[in-house]
Amino acid sequence: MKVYIQTDIEGVAGFCFFEQRRRSEYEVIEHRHRMYRLLTAEVNAAVRAAFDAGADEVIVNDSHGSGYNILFEELDSRCRIIHGRNCSGPHWLPLLEGSDAMLLVGMHAMAGTPRAITAHSKWEINNGKMYLSEGTMACAIAGDFGVPAVMMSGDDKVASEFREKIPSMETAVVKEALSPYQACSLVPAAACGLIYQKALKGLERRKEIPPFKISGPVTLGLFDSDNHAPPFQLIGERKTAETINQAFLDYERAMPWCPFDQEMVDGFQYP
């Protein structure tokens, strides 16, 4: 069994505001690395559950920001990890195809979700017929490959979205969001224990949880927001394709935070 673990950081227990990457004060740097340690522990809990459920291959996708948020040295040595600049490779979810199940760790709510922790990104499907967060977009792409998303972790607000769209999946609520920048979290040991239990149960039930599919043709729009709060702004152009995965592939390169190309990094052209 191959298990794919999609990760973000905003949904981790203990996280409640962004790491301010452009500031270099000691406190800011220490906070950032503290969040990395919390994320790594939660990912390890999901990895351990996957192997205990019978996986023979586990791939972790470090999918927040720079793609260097998970501490390699502390990861379970049985897994492999995708890292580096997101969307600079062939896909937002590289090596997903052929997986038997997806687990999602550290998910956050879509832009405009009241009181959710650092809510941002909001995918519009077919002119407002449906909206997806980054996490449920990952589930929809997995659905195109026939891969069921069986467990997610995050705050209570994003968990509500997952339950609405994929009611049979397992949800690990590791914190209650009180405002965009304040939460009441489980302590790390309890959060990791809950993620392990829910991931194990989701994988054991994977054949009962259907892949989340959005049939084509699909029109995509992406809303984000100033300072991750309303009002919304439409970014880029809309693209139409037969499935959500094809539409996303057309669209992702237009995102303003993904200007990288497979053959061009930092201005250097590879021969």
Q: pLDDT tens string for the chain (271 positions)?
A: 999 999 999 999 999 976 655 556 767 788 888 999 999 999 999 999 999 999 999 999 998 877 789 999 999 999 999 998 766 666 789 999 999 999 999 999 998 899 999 998 899 898 889 999 999 999 999 999 999 999 999 999 999 999 999 999 999 999 999 998 899 999 999 999 999 999 999 999 999 999 999 987 888 888 876 554 444 556 566 777 778 887 887 777 666 555 555 555 555 443 3
pLDDT, position 271: 37
CA distance 133 to 270: 35
12 is a domain residue: yes
Instruction: Please name the residues in contact with 200: beta carbons below 8 A apart, sequence gap of 6 or more.
Output: 49, 52, 53
Question: Is residue 30, in this structure, part of any structural domain at all?
Answer: yes
Domain presence at residue 41: yes
Is there a domain that residue 163 lies in? yes
- Kindly report the CATH number assigned to the domain that includes residue 121: 3.40.50.10780
pLDDT given at position 160: 98
For residue 168, the enclosing domain spans 2-266
Q: How many domains does the chain have?
A: 1
Per-residue confidence (pLDDT) for residue 157, from 0 to 100 = 97
Helix axes 156-165, 134-144, angle to 10 degrees: 30
Q: How far is CA 67 from CA 79, 82, 84, 87, 263, in A?
A: 16, 8, 4, 10, 18
Instruction: Of 62, 66, 60, give the one whose Cα is nearest residue 46.
Output: 60
Which tokens is 250 given? 């057309």
Question: Which tokens in the block code for residue 163?
Answer: 């339950």
Given phi > 0 = left and psi -120 to 50 = alpha, else beta, which region is 112?
Answer: left
At a CB cut-off of 8 Å and minimum separation 6, what does 57 contact?
A: 1, 2, 3, 80
pTM of the model as a whole: 0.90
- Distances in whole angstroms, Cα of residue 110 to Cα of each of 115, 116, 161, 177, 182: 11, 8, 9, 13, 17
Structure confidence at residue 269 (pLDDT): 44
117: left (phi over 0), alpha (psi -120 to 50) or beta: beta
Classify residue 271: in a domain, yes or no: no
At 242 the pLDDT is: 76
Q: How do strand 170-179 and strand 80-82 relate by DSSP bridges?
A: unpaired
Q: State the pLDDT at residue 85.
A: 73
Q: In this structure, are strands 215-225 and 268-269 parallel, antiparallel, or unpaired?
A: unpaired
Inside any domain, residue 36: yes
In-domain check, residue 224: yes
10 Å CB burial of residue 235 (0-12, 13-18, 19+) is middle
Rounded to the nearest 10 degrees, how much is the dihedral formed by the CA atoms of 265, 110, 148, 171?
Answer: 120
3-state secondary structure 145-179: CCCCEEEEEEEHHHHHHHHHHCCCCEEEEEEEEEE
What pLDDT is stored for residue 146 in this prediction? 96
In the block, tokens 């000691």 appear at: 26
Written as six digits, the tokens of 190 are: 């309890």
- Per the domain annotation, does 170 fall within a domain? yes
Predicted confidence at residue 229, as pLDDT, reads 45
